Structure formats: C-alpha cells, structure tokens
Structure 1
Amino acid sequence: MLAAAAMLTLLGGCGKKAELQPLPAPPEAAPVAPATGNTGDMPQATPGLNPTQRLARVVDLLNRNDEKAARVELDALLAQDPGRREAKVLEQSIKGNPYAMVPRNSFSYVVAPGDTFITLALDYLGDSYKFYALARISGIAPNMLKPGDIIQMPGRVREPSRPGVQRSRPPVTRVRPPRRTAPATGATPATGAAPAAPQNDPATALRYRRQGLEQMTAGRIDRAVSLLGRALQYDPDNRAIAADLARARRIQGAVQTR
C-alpha cells in the first residue's frame, strides 16, 4: 500500500517542475525465517577467489539481483579482508538502512539510455559501490532498470550533468583521425586499410562508459581503461568520460606500482 501511494504521488507530479521532497520512510525489515536443518540449497562461497575477484563476484551477483548468493560471497570477502572499504559499503547497502547512506532530500529523475544504478550512484552519490542502496531505495531490481523509468534520486535537483559531480576536471583529450596518405601512382589501394576514426556518437559513448564503469567497479581496471578510452573516442568533448578515464588510469598506475 505504501508503494502504491508513493507511485500515485510520483505520477501526479509528472509534467511539473521537479521539487525537493523528502525520501520516503524506509520499509520495515522483513522477518528472518528460522534456520532449518536442511542447508543443501544454501549457496556456498566460490572457493579459490582472492579479495578483488570476490568483490567482482559480489557486484556481479547484485547486478543480477541475486542477493542471497551475494550475501554469502560478501561474508567471505569480509572474512578475507575485513577493512576493505568497498566491502563495507556493499554490506551496509545490503544489510543496513540504505536511506542512511544518501542525502535526505530527493527529486524525480527519468532514467536515460545508458544509465545503470552503478553510473547513477557514481554521478549523484559519488560512489559507484552505493548502487545497490540506490536500487533498494528506488524499488527496482538492478537488472530491471530501463530508460523511461522514474526514480527518486537522493540529493538536490539539478540537471543530470555528469561533469558536475567530479572534483576535478582533467583536460579533454581529443582524438584525431589518422592521417591519410595518397597511394602511389599506379598503386592498387590496400584492402586491409585501417578503419576511419569513430564518428561522434554520444549514445555509443554512453554504452561504452557504462561498461567501463561496471568493469572498474568490479576491479577489472585494464578492461575499464580500454572501454572508457573507446567511449572517449566516440564523444571526445565529454568531460565526464574524460574524468572517468583519468580516474581509471590513476587506479591502473597504482595497481601496477604495487
């Protein structure tokens, strides 16, 4: 009933200028079922994973809305690395009160193509690992979020200008197309010539950015750098992508120097 009332309120506000409003009260915790003697159907932690691999496993499971298995992997991760910041954020996102992790005010936000809870958490909450807390507040499973959904975004009303959440803005790297040289007189044009540089395509850039941020959150930094670099090729003036790429390269450099 609370969810229905919240939805009616939200739909009633469509077409009006977004206004600050308090986040709804957190739902009451569901009672925990008593343990039974049959544990054969209980998920088990994946053996042989190091903390970084297990962190990626937790993120992947939560993205697929498999919270039960994610809890088991997260407990194993905390046992391996009790002080890991990302693990503690995920633990609070799953087991704690998600409203305690975000600003008190909120505004209506229409999900755009390329948005995921990971990118939205990074852009509006400053921490991609709060993505599951944002999903819980929104009442939408991470793998069910789609363009056109209207969610309550914690914080103050502002345009979804992603550069605005960055603390520093590195200079934008412009990608120049390769110089073309005319073939020699009488020469046959090569059939295996390098493809032309990508055209400006913000939609494709957003897709690569989303994939890159997901890889970075999962700890696969080299892959994240590659994807974010590709995103910047498709939208070289996008400062948010440039900032994401610079951040991924800093992490990559720190990992390589260890």
Structure 2
Amino acid sequence: MNFRFTAARPAILLAAVGVALAGCASKSGGPAAPATVQPIDNADQIGDVIARLERGDAKAAKKSLETMRKRDPNDARAAMLLESITADPQEILGARSFAYTAKAGDTFPALAQRFLGNRDKFYALARYNGFDNPSALAAGRALRIPGEEPRAAPPPAPKPRPTPPPASKPVTPPPAAKPKPAAPAANPALARQLRSQGLAALNRGEVDRAVVLLHRALAANPGSAVIKADLTRAQRIRKTVKARR
C-alpha cells in the first residue's frame, strides 16, 4: 500500500507543475513568442571566410562565398575572394612578375597589400606561387610577385658643408615644373583576351563578372571604342537585372 502511494507521488508532482505552467501561460495571454533570429549579412561573415582562406580551407570558404553571392550579387568583395579561389591566378594578377624572397614576418595578406594594393588578393597571390595554404609561407621562400618591381629609393644626398654667406642675396630661380607621370602602356593582346572572357561571361548570364573583365580590358587598352561599347552594354544589362530583382 505504501509502495503504491510513494510511486505515484512523482506523477502527481509533474501534474501539479503542468497545471501551474498552464496557468501562467493563460495569464500572460498564451505561450511566449520565440526570440527573433537576427539575419546574418555579408559584412558579418566576411571575416570568417578570410580566416578560412588564410588556413587553406578553400572548400568551406567557397561554400560560404557562394551563399554570400546569392544573398548579395553586387558584393564586389565576396566576388573578388570567390574569383581568387576559382579563377586562374595569372588571369587575375597578370603573367608579368618579378622575383622576391620572403622575409621574417612576411605574410601573403601583407604582401598583397604592399605590392598589389589590396589585402583581399592574398589567396590569389598564394595560388600564384603554388600555395594552397597561405599560412605555410616561411622566410627565405622564393616568390614571384605580379607586376613591375618597385624601384629602390635613391640614397640620401650628402649634407653640404656650410659656406660663408654671399655678399649679396642671389636671385632664386622659379621651381622647375614637375613632369607629368607617363600613362601606362597599352596592352592590346591582354585587352582582347579579357574582352573575349567578358563577352563569354555575359553570354552565360554572369553579368557582374563580365563587367569586371571588361573594366580590366579597357584598362589594358583605354583607347578601344569597341571595349567601351561592350562595357557600357554590360553595365546597362546589370542595371536592368538589378532593377528587376
């Protein structure tokens, strides 16, 4: 008799707790609404993607970047990082390069910022040099850096010895006009190649990539009216596609 009474007590307690919870819910007007989940945007996710690429986890980074591109097709930063995984690095950075020996403390992100002017090109630079894992760079490693080798700064001129003041103040000549920097040399062969790739991307419906490639083609041959017309058409198509979304 006592055994049955004792065994039944947990069930009675559970029932009492259920009644109390039901009463609380009814007093508050029903069950509490679930907390709102804040959506993740590309700016919140880009840091994780870069960290994966720095570790050499290109597969996970590519999956995240494809999701980001679907979320925002006009995200140029995500497009550049995705291109650094999928495209030929020589197509992205160019075939011309110069030799460089890695020094202590060098990293691919730092080298990309220093020589290419964009830290986000670090994974393309790593692949350019045969690295799947950018963090494996070590001092003494021979690398190829895309572009022209920077000129070394001239040594400082020796300080002139002090001379006695002149009897009369000399006439100071006007400063010489600074020469205008020379415009970059056109590269019609590269421009044709990039234009062909841009038109192919446009035909596949990859409007954003087509605009990027045609921009690069025009930079390689600024005087080409044909490339300007192709770029204008691609930009107009992109604007139309964006307006329909």
TM range (shorter): 0.3 to 0.5
Give the alignment's TM-score, normalised by structure 1: 0.42
Give the alignment's TM-score, normalised by structure 2: 0.44
More helix by share: 2
Structure scoring higher RCO (CA < 8 A, sep ≥ 6) equals 1
